[in-house]
């Protein structure tokens, strides 16, 4: 019996990320990154025109960043090449101002590939960034501003996810000095994104307009509502507690300028996620308000994960 190729590629991709995370020299890290990239490309490829263009763009950008990274590693013996390494990793991550490739390819990808690219494939480069003792403040501020403001005029749900990812990468980079905080935030963001991807995939949505005229049940609308608000960072959902951790860390380290920019841009991100909720819930809501509670039987799993999961995580951390 032949092994399923999709399982094989997924296994190799996770193995590549694991090698990159657990290695103690740059050559093995590079090897892990290349293995994960070459395994991700077959997972990413689908049979439509936009997808082949996205695959080629992704391959070229990742190869270019890997080449720059290897150049930085080779030049380490001559002079301090941390800046070259930093730029190559930022390009690989798709952090602002190197974010345009993410937005251009994300439309030609499936939702599963989008989820992997925005979460698992970014884990190894983030850990590589934490090895470099550099100041990322300029990139963090640019990411916060571009990720929030550029998402305002987007109609595509995938592009909103992309800009939201650029914004959230800035939050991760701002707390790189404290591994526990950024890992907790990244974990919560990954689960929120997984729930949103699952819902959008099941409901077959690609654009915000499709949420406007819909015939979903109230239970489905409530699930959408909770998941989208969690992605936006609305209390008391999961996304809010992750942001709260990062903001608390920044306040403790006296980084008040980045904290104030982060809070203001978080409101903008919250606005464009709330707009999606407004379209799906309020418009064409044909059940009288006093009947909602009696007619609502929503998916308890999504509600439980969005609401209860943060408290479980914080209780585990306190042991």
pLDDT digits (tens, 9 = 90+) for 13-42: 999 999 999 988 888 999 999 999 999 998
Ranges 23-32, 152-161, 272-281, 304-313: which has the least confidence: 304-313
**Mean pLDDT, the chain, whole residue set:** 83
Residue 34, pLDDT score: 92
Residue scoring higher pLDDT (13 or 311): 13
- pLDDT mean over 129-136: 86
Residue scoring higher pLDDT (61 or 210): 61
Residue scoring higher pLDDT (314 or 284): 314
In the chain, the percentage of residues whose pLDDT exceeds 70 is: 85
What span, in angstroms and rounded, lies between the C-alpha atoms of 49 and 258? 41
Asked whether 17 and 34 are in contact (CB, 8 A), the reply is no
Ranges 58-67, 72-81, 118-127, 175-184: which has the least confidence: 72-81
What span, in angstroms and rounded, lies between the C-alpha atoms of 163 and 157? 10
CA dihedral 173, 194, 285, 208 (to 10 degrees): 60
Ranges 1-10, 14-23, 198-207, 271-280: which has the least confidence: 1-10
- pLDDT mean over 95-115: 88
Residue 240, pLDDT score: 87
Residues near 209 by beta carbon (within 8 Å), at least 6 away in sequence: 155
CA dihedral 12, 15, 20, 23 (to 10 degrees): -140
Task: Name the band, by pLDDT with cuts 50, 70 and 90, for residue 297.
Answer: very low
Dump pLDDT digits (tens) for 238-282. Answer: 888 889 889 999 999 888 899 999 999 999 999 888 888 777 666
Task: Name the band, by pLDDT with cuts 50, 70 and 90, for residue 65.
Answer: very high
- pLDDT mean over 107-135: 89
- Closest Cα partner for 125 from 92, 167, 158, 160? 92
Q: Bridge partners of 207?
A: 156
User: Which residue has 């190894």 as its token pair?
Assistant: 124
Other C-beta atoms lying within 10 Å of the C-beta of residue 27: 10
Tokens found for residue 82: 């941390």
User: Which residue has 């919560």 as its token pair?
Assistant: 188
Task: Name the band, by pLDDT with cuts 50, 70 and 90, for residue 178.
Answer: confident
Tokens found for residue 150: 């550029």
What span, in angstroms and rounded, lies between the C-alpha atoms of 292 and 182? 38
In the chain, the percentage of residues whose pLDDT exceeds 90 is: 34
Task: Name the band, by pLDDT with cuts 50, 70 and 90, for residue 168.
Answer: very high
What span, in angstroms and rounded, lies between the C-alpha atoms of 187 and 52? 30
What is the model's pTM? Answer: 0.87
Residue 296, pLDDT score: 42
């Amino acid at each position: 019996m032949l092994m399923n190729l999709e399982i094989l590629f997924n296994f190799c991709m996770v193995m590549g990320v694991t090698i990159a995370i657990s290695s103690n020299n740059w050559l093995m890290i590079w090897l892990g990154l290349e293995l994960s990239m070459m395994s991700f490309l077959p997972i990413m490829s689908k049979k439509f025109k936009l997808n082949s263009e996205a695959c080629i763009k992704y391959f070229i950008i990742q190869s270019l960043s890997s080449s720059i990274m290897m150049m930085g590693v080779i030049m380490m013996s001559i002079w301090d090449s941390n800046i070259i390494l930093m730029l190559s990793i930022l390009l690989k991550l798709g952090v602002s101002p190197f974010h345009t490739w993410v937005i251009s390819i994300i439309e030609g990808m499936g939702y599963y590939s989008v989820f992997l690219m925005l979460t698992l494939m970014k884990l190894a480069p983030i850990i590589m960034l934490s090895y470099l003792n550099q100041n990322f403040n300029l990139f963090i501020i640019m990411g916060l501003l571009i990720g929030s403001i550029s998402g305002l005029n987007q109609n595509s749900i995938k592009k909103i996810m992309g800009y939201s990812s650029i914004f959230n990468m800035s939050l991760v980079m701002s707390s790189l000095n404290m591994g526990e905080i950024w890992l907790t935030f990244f974990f919560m963001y990954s689960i929120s994104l997984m729930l949103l991807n699952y819902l959008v995939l099941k409901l077959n949505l690609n654009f915000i307009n499709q949420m406007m005229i819909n015939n979903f049940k109230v239970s489905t609308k409530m699930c959408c509502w909770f998941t989208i608000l969690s992605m936006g960072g609305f209390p008391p959902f999961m996304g809010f507690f992750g942001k709260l951790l990062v903001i608390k860390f920044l306040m403790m380290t006296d980084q008040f300028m980045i904290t104030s920019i982060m809070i203001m841009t978080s409101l903008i991100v919250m606005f464009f996620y709330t707009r999606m909720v407004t379209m799906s819930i309020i418009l064409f809501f044909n059940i009288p308000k006093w009947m909602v509670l009696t007619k609502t039987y929503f998916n308890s799993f999504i509600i439980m994960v969005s609401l209860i999961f943060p408290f479980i995580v914080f209780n585990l951390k306190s042991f």
